[in-house]
Structure 1
Amino acid sequence: MITRRNFLRLSMLATVSSMMAACGSKQEDARLSFLNWQDYIGTDTIRDFEKSTGVKVTYQNYSSNDQLIWMLGQASSQRITVAGYDLCVPSEHAMLALRRIGLIKDFSAGGIHGIENLTPALQKRTSDPTNAFSIPWALGTTGIAWDSRVLGETPDWAIFLDPKLAGKMSLLDESVDGIMIGLLASQLPPTASDAASLQTAVTTLKKMRQQTRLNSSTYLRDLVSGQLSVAMAYSNDFVIASKLNPNLKFVIPQSGGLQWTDCMVIPTKAPRPKRAEEFINFVLQPDISAGISNTANVNTGNAAAYNLIAPEVRNNPAIFPDATAMARAHPLALHDDAALRRVNEAWQQVKNA
C-alpha cells in the first residue's frame, strides 16, 4: 500500500494476544511495541535501532487518529487490550484527547535527550510547552491532490461540489480534519466549534458527499490508478503517490488548508516505557531524523538534521512549503472535550449522509 493511513485491523488484533502473553518475562524487556501510521518511518530506522540496542521492535499500523483513540479507549474499558503497546504517534489534537482521559503518561524525569535538536517553535509547543509527555515525530500539511490530466486549473475546496466529477473524488475520514475543511469551504473560521458553525459545515460537507467518498486508506492508490481525480490528501502521502504518477499535483488551497504535527507518546499501560524513551532519544539524533525525512517524505522539525536531508526532499514544496503556502495552512484545532464531542457528532452526520 502507498498510504501511511492504511489500517490493518485483522493483523493488529490478531497479534495483540501474543504480545500480551509474552509480557512480564525478562526476555521481553528487550522488546518495543511501536504503533504508527503506515509508510511513516525511515527505511533503516528500526533495523538500526535494533542493531544499536539489541531491542526487538514490533511495528504495527493504524489508519486514523479516530481509530487510535478508539483502540486506547477500548483498552481502558477492558473490551479489548492494547496494553502491549509502548509507543504511538497521534496528531496533537488526538494526543490531547488521550491525555485528558488518562491514556498517555509523562516521560520519566531526565528520560528524554535531544530536544534541543528541534526547532525553537517545536520545543515550546502550545500542546505541551515543556515536552513533558510528547515529542514531535513529524509535521506536514493537508490539502488537495489532483490529476492534472483531468483538471487543468488549481482547485479549491469548492471542487468537491462539482457534479461533473461525481464518484471521482474523496475526502479523508477524519473528524477534526474533515469538519475544519467544511468550515473553510463555508468561509468560516476553521477552528469554530459552536453549534451554528458546525451545522453550516455539515450542510456543506453533505453536499460534497453527494459527489465524493470518504477514504483514508486507498485514496492515493486510486489517484495513481486513475480511479480518483481529486482527493483531500496528506502532503507526505501525495509525495509517495506522485513518484508513481507524475501527473498528480498538490496544493494548499487559497481558501486554506491544514497543518499538523504528529507526536511520540507513551500509553499509560505501556509495559516498557524505558524502551520507548530509548527509541525517542534515538530518533532525535540528527542522522536518524534525516533518514525519516528522506524516506517518509516529511519534515521532522529537527533543525540539526536539516542539512543532512537529501536536496530533492529539502527542496520539495509539498514537504517544505514556503512561507506563503504555510500562511494558508491552519493548525489542527486543539478542542476541549465538549467541543471535540460536538465536532465528532457533526462528523457522524456527514458520514451517515
Structure 2
Amino acid sequence: MSKTLTCITTCTLTGNPTYIWYKNGQHLDESTSPQYKYSVFSNYDDSYSCTVKGHEDLHSPAVCVQDQDCSRVTYTKRRICVLKGSTVDISCTYVGYYSTTSTFWFRSDKSTPEDLTRDPGYTGRVKYTGTYRGPFTLRITDLREEDSAEYRFTFKTYNVEWGHSFPGTTLSVTGLQVKVTPAAEGQKTLTCITTCTLTDNHTYIWYRNGQNVQDTSSPMYSISSEDADSYYCAVKGHNGLSSPAVYKPKTSVSVSPSGEIVEGSSVTLTCSSDANLPVDKYTWYKKNGGDYQRTTGPQHVFNQIQSSDTGEYYCEAQNEMGTDRSRTMNMDVKCE
C-alpha cells in the first residue's frame, strides 16, 4: 500500500525539469514526474523533501509522512560570502525522534564524510556550539580561500542516519581588490570588489596613503585622473583585512652589461617598475638633438650597438592609475 507525494510550485516550470527526492537526507530517486509514491509502512520518523535538478540548493522543506515529529535538518542560510581572514558561523536546526548518538559537520566535496574537527586542514580553527532543536553552529576562524565549499550536517539516532546527499550551506571566501575604471573627464572610479556578494550589508573604508579618507555604504570612490597617491579599501569591522594598495608605477632604468660599452657589442636596457595594478605599457625614449625616438616594451635591445646609439635614454611605464618616467640615463658607445 502506498501514498503519493507531489513536488509543487506556484507556477508551471519552463522546460521539462527533473525532480529529485530525498528521504531522511538521502538521495532517493530522480524523475520527470513531480510525484513520488512511498509505502505507508515507512518508519514514523521518516521525512521527505524534493528539489529540481540543477537547483539542488533550492530544495523544499522536509515533510513528515507519519507523524509531526520526524527527522529533519533545516539550514539557517543556504549561501554565505565572507572575507578571507574573518570568522563565519554556519548553522542549522535538526530534529531526530530518538536521542542522537553522533553529530558533526563535513565538506560535501570529500569522498566520505569527515568530521571537520578531525580534519588536519581545520586544526584549531573549528568549533561546534548549540543543542538539539536549537541552532547547531559550525564556527570556522581564520578563513582561507580554500575553505570555500559546501558544508553539510549529519546526525545519527537509534534508527536514522541523516543522509549525506542532502544539500547544505555553500560558503564562499573572498578577498578584497580595487578595480580602476575611467569616469567623467579627468576622473577615475575606484571600486572595492569581491568575488562574491558579501552576505551582510557593510560599510566600506577607503584609505589614501594609509590614511582613512572615507567611510561609505557604497563600494565606489572617485579620484582625479592626475592623482598619484596610493589607495586601498577595507570593510568596517575588518580593518585588518584590507585590499592590496593600487598606485601608479615607480619606474627605474638599468643597463646590461654594466661598465664600458663598446661598439658592436650586445646591450640591453631594462625598464623596471614597482606597480599595482600591472603595467599596461612601457615606452622608451631617446633624446637626440631635441628629437624623440620611441620604442615599446620593458626592454630595449641593441644586438650590435653603434656609436650613433650614443645618447640619453629614459622610459615610461603606464598602468590604470597613471604614468611614471624614469631618470635619464646617458649611454656612451666607444669605438673599437
TM-score by length of 2: 0.24
- Structure with greater helix percent: 1
Which structure has the higher relative contact order (CA within 8 Å, separation 6+)? Answer: 1
- Structure with greater strand percent: 2
